A and B are shown apart, each in its own frame.
Chain A
């Protein structure tokens, strides 16, 4: 028997049931019974078809913190266990174990026997979790105990589940930084044509001064040079103690790839190398044809060294972070700071997490919106475990977070007063793990500390009603890593808070709104840090205010985020694209257009997208998409916070 169409199944079943129900009992004969039974039996067999579970869970809990956690744990028992197993046991933990080789080479404590037999990452997360727990308020510890009891898992497993994000990002920042230390570096640039072109190419107010065409490379959010001759060649100096592999040098200019086989790319030693050493590489790119005047050009530089690292497998050369620089050609009439080092999408990176807030003149009805797309670590797992968790803390105090099973928080949320907050990670070495190395040097452990970010969010949502109160509360916390918070409330107040762990006592939180006249809210040129108008703000995975998060020597020369973070250039690019879209739709934004912006292909991380949401703080409504990768491919389901059950 063929599978019947669903509509046909429904119709037949309905008809049979009606016939059955409408038949007077005295008229029920064997024939009718057999006929109806047979049809129902056959139809039920033919029509039964498994349906997928809902893409995410919506759970409403109430009572004391422990009771709420207990309900959470009971309701999501299998998913919590699944999330722990799939995200940690079979993904992150074995993955982090691979880093032990590199880490124990620097931090001797990890050579200890207790860290052997695959226990390195497990102990790392647990020790760090215990340290982080010292900064978690008791109410949330109680809630996690409830989750543990409800799910039947050990409390420490739940604690690890709620803190692994903070520890992992801190550890990742260190291992990624160390990888970059061992990889080629773009040291300097030489553009001979700049020395005599009659233009101020480095935008320093001087024209054709000596060595104008020679500069040390520094990662920048804006253009490196301006007004270059259209036929100017660029020479790059690439350096690595193991030697730079010329075969792996790739230069991309506006998405055209040049390598050692390209006639427009010359690769040669920078100078004669000393015996036993490797010479730097001189990589000269010449435009195949003169470039257009008045154009913005971006270049991406990729390189690897000649040494092959066997650990962790697979064997690989040390690859440099793709560096990115931008310049304008002559007659552009733009200053460096007016040109974003936007680059272009070459398929090697994804847009990181980002969010934006709109209000007043930016939205069609003047009401505030907060839109957020969080992406970081899906690993084929997280999207299956998304939970919209509604917590009735007390009468009149309801909070919703969009997170994951077993976690008592999310990376975005809103409370009954209309305060909505979204969080993006922002790579920094100004974190507790580095601080431990600073304090204990080679005897250090990679222990995180401070308030885990999700608990910071919960404290703000649970305890504040307005942006001002929330931002102040968050600014007063000791943070576990670099984070960018975007806060919006029902009145339309909005604010960005950038934080690191302030391990030297010199940085800490920086907050700003869209008004560039506000102290600390503008860049060196008087422009708003993260707004295109008076009523918008955005965040990404890079700092705009906290640009010198750490610049110090701790075993290595540690430099600010923009010099090493793999998220930096993609975040600059994403922010610029988002800003352009916001500007072009200013005054017309509503929920649908905010969703459409989140779904723009060049803003969507197709690998590690986790959740997407648009909050309407004034209406206490949220529109959530999750359960797919990317999350923005899912339906944005609408919920009214006070009506969620």
Chain B
């Protein structure tokens, strides 16, 4: 492999609405403040044959005229901790506006470098060991890359969105379906990784590779009532996500002369046209606990109003299949482009998500606590990176008008 960055990948989920349901909107005048912490771990890449691989390929190194010294292997372990603050405001009966402000609180990348010895080197009387190689590399100005730690308190790409719940008329009404359209847009407020660093991570949409610069969702859900109580909700959400073309600075090799000297032939900058995402989510939401329900102050002491509040406990399970289109690199060097393109061939990822929310509104406290776990390495994907995310958060609801 011709090296690029050892790693710039992490992922988390920043839904424009943190609710499990994809059709729920806030009543007009209601403001929801949502704060959460996400802990994202990435250490697996799915290859073209759906086999789990380390996030980056091994890097073959050669002794000029002496053949293969060996292969630098890496099993990077990438951790991102992200605080996400969201505001949602019910504007109209069917329309909610939202803004999400993700801030990376910390990130770390341990490349876990290893070594596969190459061929016998007659002038040494042995094969290169890992220590031999890095000693050799250092004599040529290339230090062994260490761990990355950074992005402390760095803003990621901010997200703005809106959800419009379609009027329940016609077929929707007759089938008892809820439907909503959600649109979201990312603002380029994040930061690219330092191009000269071999091991580094950024905070942009591309680095996240989980949501797009622009997304359009269509969700349809149906609630099922048992004994007059809505206990089950099934839903489907389909979406298309666009990632815009972006331009990056090409590494010059200032920090890693052997491994990152690209600018002379790639050009001062290069363009990346990321592949768009097409996803479909199946959602199952169950309500094991509805009440107790009290005629609390936030319901105007009206038990009927209080009964419209979310249930005490909701649990959900979702599976999202995302097709990821080919990402293309564009530079002066077609060969260099291909060396990146081949790691971002068309593929897919399967996300399994489990979660639950404990709402205290029926108890008179206008907030809820929630937690979710998302895994992308339970079901193999293809040509994608798998990130697992644990998220915990709290929501506070305030009536504005």
Contact = CB atoms under 8 A, between A and B. Distances in A.
A260 B341 CA distance: 52
Given A90-B257, A379-B62, A313 B265 contact: no
Given A45-B276, A319-B125, A52 B139 contact: no
Interface in B247-272: 253, 257-258, 261-262, 264-266
B339 to A, nearest CB: 9
A425 to B, nearest CB: 10
Contacts of B60: 380
Interface in A70-114: 77-79, 81-82, 84-86, 89-92, 94-95, 97-98
A1 B278 contact: yes
B323 A314 contact: no
A46 B123 CA distance: 51
B170 interface: no
Contacts of A381: 62
Contact of A81 (B68, B258, B264, B334): B264
B265 A85 contact: yes
A46 B65 contact: no
A82 B336 contact: yes
Contacts of B133: 314
Interface residues of A, number: 58
Interface string B336-357: 1010011011111000000000
Contact of A317 (B63, B125, B129, B138): B125
A142 B35 CA distance: 69
A347 B336 contact: no
B326 A314 contact: no
B348 A3 contact: yes
Contacts of B153: none
Interface string A300-318: 0010100000001111110
B27 interface: no
B135 interface: yes
Nearest to A316: B124
B42 to A, nearest CB: 22
B122 A566 contact: yes
B264 A84 contact: yes
B257 A379 contact: no
Given A94-B257, A95-B140, A45 B325 contact: yes
Interface in B84-135: 119-120, 122-126, 128-129, 131-133, 135
Interface string A367-390: 000000000111111001000000
Given A98-B139, A118-B141, A50 B328 contact: yes
A95 B141 CA distance: 10
A81 B335 CA distance: 12
A172 interface: yes
Contacts of B341: 50
A349 B344 CA distance: 37
A607 interface: yes
Contact of A78 (B62, B124, B265, B342): B265
A315 B135 contact: yes
Which among B131, B261, B326 has the highest number of chain A CB atoms within 10 Å?
A: B326
A319 B124 contact: yes
Interface of A: 1-3, 45-46, 48-53, 77-79, 81-82, 84-86, 89-92, 94-95, 97-98, 118, 172, 176, 179, 248, 302, 304, 312-317, 319, 321-322, 347-350, 376-381, 384, 566, 606-608
Given A53-B334, A319-B125, A607-B67, 19 more contacts: A45-B276, A48-B346, A49-B326, A50-B338, A78-B335, A79-B265, A81-B333, A82-B335, A85-B265, A94-B258, A172-B65, A176-B123, A179-B123, A312-B139, A321-B122, A347-B120, A348-B119, A350-B67, A376-B65
24 contacts: A1-B323, A2-B323, A49-B346, A50-B342, A51-B338, A53-B334, A81-B332, A82-B336, A84-B265, A85-B265, A90-B257, A98-B139, A312-B139, A313-B135, A313-B138, A314-B136, A319-B124, A322-B122, A348-B119, A348-B122, A350-B67, A380-B60, A380-B62, A384-B335
